[in-house]
Amino acid sequence: MAAATLLVAVLSACQSTTMGGAVGASRKQLLLVSSQEVNAGSAQAYRQTLTEAKSKRTLNTNAAYTRRVKEISARLIRQVLVFRPEARDWQWEVNVFTSPEVNAYCMPGGKIGIYTGIIDQLQLNDDELAAVIGHEIAHALREHSREKISQKVAQQQGLALVGALAGLSQGQMDMANLAGQYAVTLPFSRSMESEADVMGLELMARAGYNPAAAPNVWRKMAKLGEGGPEFLSTHPSGSTRIAELSARIPQVMPLYEEARRKR
């Protein structure tokens, strides 16, 4: 009976967080926790990150980089309505951290962080930087963190239900705490990374950034060496990924060309 109840709950929680756009990103997702819980947890983590950066004097200290990142992010954010109209009203924040770390992220709810290391070490031009930021924004639009947290909750709840007669504790099922703990740490699956790749490609094309630059980011990343940058710890790279991105470019190139005509 408990297992059947869990199955019904899981099936009813499957939905898509976005419209498909030109690239068709509308896979059904398991979403057992609320956006509010996950966004609240990530917002708290982001505030802590900003506080630490301020104390270390590493927050937005490079005016040129900060201006570039914010301008590119703003152009990309204006395109999110094609996937998720309500995301235009998120409390978006964009900050640059002075650090040699090769990393970038967009937390749930639109909290963006870019490390100067990824710009410096990859020598990113604006199109390439748009590919990185667009990829991270796509993770937030698809609520991949919420999906990963939901998968973890389903696993824990399933174990709790199956083991209820054995006296397993259910005191660890506080979803808000789980969201705060895992919203920015759970690695994404390969399917999630592929979704972020293709959605980011469409976002940058619609914003007037050349999508042909996206595969080059990963070529540059590969040249940094075996497993070096933190960015690669949860972002698989390699020839397969480059090939998948390259294959998608013709699909979004008309969007880029249209955006360029309008500018």
Residues in CB range of 93: below 8 A, 6 or more apart: 46, 110, 111, 112
Q: Could you tell me the end-to-end alpha-carbon distance of the chain, in angstroms, rounded to an integer?
A: 60
26 CB-side CA count, 13 A: 9
Sheet with 111-115: list strands edge to edge: 93-97, 111-115, 104-107
Q: Is 93 a catalytic residue?
A: no
Contact of 88 with 125, CB cutoff 8 Å: no
C-alpha span between 61 and 138 (Å, rounded): 26
Q: Which two tokens stand for residue 234?
A: 């949860």
Provide φ and ψ at 120, rounded to 5°: -70, -50
Token pair 């395109």 in the structure block, residue: 79
Residue 138 φ then ψ, to 5°: -60, -40
Cβ neighbourhood burial of 35 (10 Å; 0-12, 13-18, 19+): middle
Per the residue annotation, which of 136, 147, 195, 202 is the catalytic one?
Answer: 136
CB 6 within 8 A of CB 158: yes
Calculate helix-pair angle for 126-141, 190-206, nearest 10 degrees: 120
> Annotated catalytic sites, by residue?
136
